Structure 1
Amino acid sequence: MTPTEHWLGRLIAHPTVSADSNLSLIDELEQALTAVGADCIRFPDQSGQKAALLARLGPDVPGGLMLSGHVDVVPAAGQDWTVPPFELTRRGGRLFGRGTTDMKGFVAAMLALAARAPVLSRPLWLAISYDEEVGCIGVRPMLAAVAGRNIRPDLVVVGEPTSMRLGLGHKGKLAFTVTAKGEARHSSEAPLALNALHLAGDFMAAMRTLQDELAAHGPSEQGYSVPYATVHVGRLIGGTVVNLVPDSAELLMELRLLAADDPAALTSRLRDLADQLAAPHRTRFPTAALTVTETGGYPGLSTPHGAAVDAFAACLPPGTAACKLSYGTEAGLFARSLGVPVVVCGPGDMAQGHRPDEYIEASQLAVCDTALDAALARFCLASDPAID
């Protein structure tokens, strides 16, 4: 068993589902990193039941390398597992357990790298977050502190699973709750009422038109399966019984945006459309309304090639392809907060994440270890004109 595999077993043994505390794991990681000479800072949440951890090996100077990973995982309850989800199980070349791919495999590689790192001339930063799975929440206070200290690594690597391909972009996300307010009445007199479900349906039709507009005229970026911003309504809730016109309804929706899209402008557009749809009804129904409330999101990522990115690419196996990712990560937040190049690159395939019998190939961890050793030498051991 390699040191990375050993660490993976220790990480998997902590059932850090996003809804639960992660403090027992953070305690273990802080103790282990302190023991190998790292300076550690915790960033607790408001409840005191979770914390992010920032560790530094080497001198506190500009430059160097930052590796980032989250330790929260999605639930395993209700899934049909054939192995214990919170116990590492090996079958041939596969390592099974919740979080092996998403994304404790990369965090294990980070920890093993820290343990074998020699004396460094530039810093190696390890950023370990929580609540990524529920909206990239836990990394934000840590990033605010990092930006405030003017910490500027040459490169940030967010180790979400890319099969060790070089991820240069992903879409951002905006999530919304849209509340429709109508007027109730017995269904036998439905035309005399304002059906909130109908009002919500009008808004959904407007979203289909907006999607067509974005596809035809909005920013476009090749490399994605859908190369433009997407509009999606995922749930509509309203009504109680069939013989009562509902006076309220709620729909849940999201936008997936390119880095070139303007989130504020699109949010304003949604609210303008909602008001335009509700306004004609207010003569008869003064309380008619469609209210758009933003409930979360994160920025997209679009990283150009440059000296630091190319230096890291040279640490990957020859012929490794660059890619754009269909899922969101914390990388856009790092790029926005720190203003430095950020890439997404980690072991495993996201197709295995969030599923029963989640696993990672041991060979992927080996490729990751080799790449991180090369990156440590390139970014933290010697001054490199290519990235200075």
Structure 2
Amino acid sequence: MLKAKSCVSDSEQTSLERTKGILADLVGFDTTSHKSNLALIEYVSSYLMQHGVTSTLLMDETGKKANLIAAIGPTDRPGVVLSGHTDVVPALETGWQTGPFELDERNGRLYGRGSCDMKGFLACVLAMVPEFVEAQIRRPVWICLSHDEEVGCLGAPAIAAWLAQREEPPFLAIIGEPTEMKLVTGQKGKIAMRCTVHGTSGHSSFAPKHVNAVDFGARIVSLIAERADRFRQEGPFDPDFTVPHSTMLVTMIQGGVATNITPERCSFTFEIRSLPRHDARAELTGIMSEVAGRLVPEMQAMHPDTGVVWEEMFSYPAMGDGTDSMGFLLFKDLMPDWSGKVSYGSEGGVFEQVGGIPSVIVGPGSIAQAHKPDEFVKVTQLEACLGFLRDIAGRLQHSN
């Protein structure tokens, strides 16, 4: 079991040793999304202060969570964001060989919840802080840690908006999601919705006199499936994505209370994951308009108090291709091999759409290991990430 090394700052340590120690600390904080991340944020703020770097904290409305922003280098010129989220998914699965919030090294792998997604990247960034400071870089590195990415990128918009208000906003954001240290230049956006159908109940022997919420819910689900099938067949398409078209599906459904009672209520959640050039809002409007124009009148003809309610749970925008931006071009020759575009979400779209900051995704570890028991990141991946960040520092050190 790797021991935590609180606020590691020993100048004699190698960057990899620092990374492992910091990662042990970060994994040790249970920052599952429904919990506070303040202890981790305070740890990072203290660590940065040891190296003369001050932090800005952006609290959420509850006061129990915070984003952290810190700049190294002069902020009167455009620089680069190194962005990661502090929250992790729950670690309730069976199959963990060791405690999920205790970092364990076995056979060149570091196991623990968040080691891959994405505290490994954060540990690398923090381990490089002494080198960033010593390099006296001529353009700033913006270290940005957000809360609640796993439940809809809830913290990132405040960071992006804050950065956009700087006199010289950053001109590139590097999102450290696990890509096996390959370059990703696009991601899909997502809108998560809840639909609730309100019908009327009664003894099922009188079913024709009732508005069956499950029946009408099933008809709406069919409309969603039909639209998803149209995406698959008609596009739009982008072959660079892991799934080359937008997707739409129902993910959870509940309704009814007994086998002999007509269901009064049916509720289901669904999502649309859209390509950057696909108007997801228009697709949702299309479904809602069809339901309002065809199904709701049918329901209310039987009983006026019935209907359908739509609720947006969360959303985040797609990330376009920023490889023609000035920020990307400054680092283009340092970027790792390109691996395409991804269907999962990240904060990249938020930085691009909210902050006007072109973004790419590069980070250690494999997305195949994320959200699983015995989540791990390979030590070689951390070494590659440290080398990449060191190259970034060198470029910032000599950039005009």
Q: Scaled by the length of structure 1, what TM-score is found? A: 0.94
Identical-pair percentage: 35
Give me the whole-angstrom Cα distance separating, in 1, the residues matched to 2:94 and 2:153: 24
Alignment partner of 1:111: what SS?
helix
For structure 2, the residue ranges without an aligned partner over 5 or more in a row are 1-15
Compute the displacement of 1:303 (Å): 1.2
Cα distance per residue 1:96-128 (max 9 Å; x no partner): 111110000000111011122221211110000
- Match in the other structure for 1:309: 328
For 1:343, give the aligned amino acid.
V
The CA RMSD measured in Å over matched residues stands at: 1.6
- Match in the other structure for 2:118: 103
Compute the displacement of 1:151 (Å): 4.4
Compute the displacement of 1:175 (Å): 0.7
- Match in the other structure for 2:259: 242
Structure 1, 78-87 or 234-243: larger mean CA deviation: 78-87
- Match in the other structure for 1:17: 32
Compute the displacement of 1:135 (Å): 1.0
For 1:55, give the aligned amino acid.
A
Structure 1, 83-92 or 243-252: larger mean CA deviation: 83-92
Give me the whole-angstrom Cα distance separating, in 2, the residues matched to 1:322 and 1:224: 10
Cα distance per residue 1:231-262 (max 9 Å; x no partner): 10011111001111011111111111111122
The number of aligned residues is 381
- Match in the other structure for 1:127: 144
- Match in the other structure for 2:316: 298
Distance 1:227 1:50, change over 3 A: same
For 1:65, give the aligned amino acid.
V
- Match in the other structure for 1:38: 53
In the alignment, is the contact (CA less than 8 A) between 1:270 and 1:292 conserved in 2?
no
Give me the whole-angstrom Cα distance separating, in 2, the residues matched to 1:179 and 1:334: 32
Give me the whole-angstrom Cα distance separating, in 2, the residues matched to 1:332 and 1:56: 21
- Match in the other structure for 2:90: 75
For 1:262, give the aligned amino acid.
D
Q: Is 1:143 matched up with 2:160?
A: yes
Distance 1:78 1:209, change over 3 A: closer
Compute the displacement of 1:283 (Å): 1.9
Give me the whole-angstrom Cα distance separating, in 1, the residues matched to 2:322 and 2:57: 32
Match of 1:54 among 57, 62, 69: 69
Structure 1, 284-293 or 188-197: larger mean CA deviation: 284-293
Cα distance per residue 1:15-38 (max 9 Å; x no partner): 111111111111111111122122
Alignment partner of 1:101: what SS?
coil
Structure 1, 302-311 or 69-78: larger mean CA deviation: 302-311
In the alignment, is the contact (CA less than 8 A) between 2:274 and 2:318 conserved in 1?
yes
For 2:54, give the aligned amino acid.
D
Cα distance per residue 1:58-103 (max 9 Å; x no partner): 1111212110001111121343211121111111211111111000
Match of 1:2 among 17, 31, 39: 17
Q: Is 1:383 matched up with 2:368?
A: no
Cα distance per residue 1:137-189 (max 9 Å; x no partner): 12222222222235422311000000011010111100111111112121111
Match of 1:190 among 207, 232, 253: 207
5 Å-filtered alignment, 1:249-328, equals 249-275=266-292, 276-306=294-324, 307-317=326-336, 320-328=337-345
Structure 1, 233-242 or 148-157: larger mean CA deviation: 148-157
Give me the whole-angstrom Cα distance separating, in 1, the residues matched to 2:173 and 2:184: 12
Cα distance per residue 1:312-360 (max 9 Å; x no partner): 342245xx22321121111100011222320000000011111111111
5 Å-filtered alignment, 1:205-220, equals 205-220=222-237
Distance 1:222 1:304, change over 3 A: farther
Give me the whole-angstrom Cα distance separating, in 1, the residues matched to 2:35 and 2:290: 39
In the alignment, is the contact (CA less than 8 A) between 1:178 and 1:291 conserved in 2?
yes
Compute the displacement of 1:311 (Å): 4.1
For 1:208, give the aligned amino acid.
A
Distance 1:210 1:181, change over 3 A: same
Give me the whole-angstrom Cα distance separating, in 1, the residues matched to 2:345 and 2:19: 25
In the alignment, is the contact (CA less than 8 A) between 1:334 and 1:342 conserved in 2?
yes
In the alignment, is the contact (CA less than 8 A) between 1:279 and 1:288 conserved in 2?
no
Structure 1, 327-336 or 300-309: larger mean CA deviation: 300-309
In the alignment, is the contact (CA less than 8 A) between 2:83 and 2:173 conserved in 1?
yes
Compute the displacement of 1:310 (Å): 4.5
For 2:118, give the aligned amino acid.
M
Cα distance per residue 1:343-381 (max 9 Å; x no partner): 000000011111111111000000000011111222x21
Distance 1:278 1:365, change over 3 A: same
Give me the whole-angstrom Cα distance separating, in 1, the residues matched to 2:189 and 2:159: 20
In the alignment, is the contact (CA less than 8 A) between 2:137 and 2:397 conserved in 1?
yes
In the alignment, is the contact (CA less than 8 A) between 2:191 and 2:314 conserved in 1?
yes
For 2:211, give the aligned amino acid.
L
Distance 1:341 1:167, change over 3 A: same
Give me the whole-angstrom Cα distance separating, in 2, the residues matched to 1:78 and 1:205: 32
For structure 1, the residue ranges without an aligned partner over 5 or more in a row are none
In the alignment, is the contact (CA less than 8 A) between 1:166 and 1:313 conserved in 2?
no
Give me the whole-angstrom Cα distance separating, in 2, the residues matched to 1:339 and 1:138: 17
Q: Scaled by the length of structure 2, what TM-score is found? A: 0.91
Alignment partner of 2:257: what SS?
coil
Give me the whole-angstrom Cα distance separating, in 1, the residues matched to 2:231 and 2:264: 32
Alignment partner of 1:355: what SS?
coil
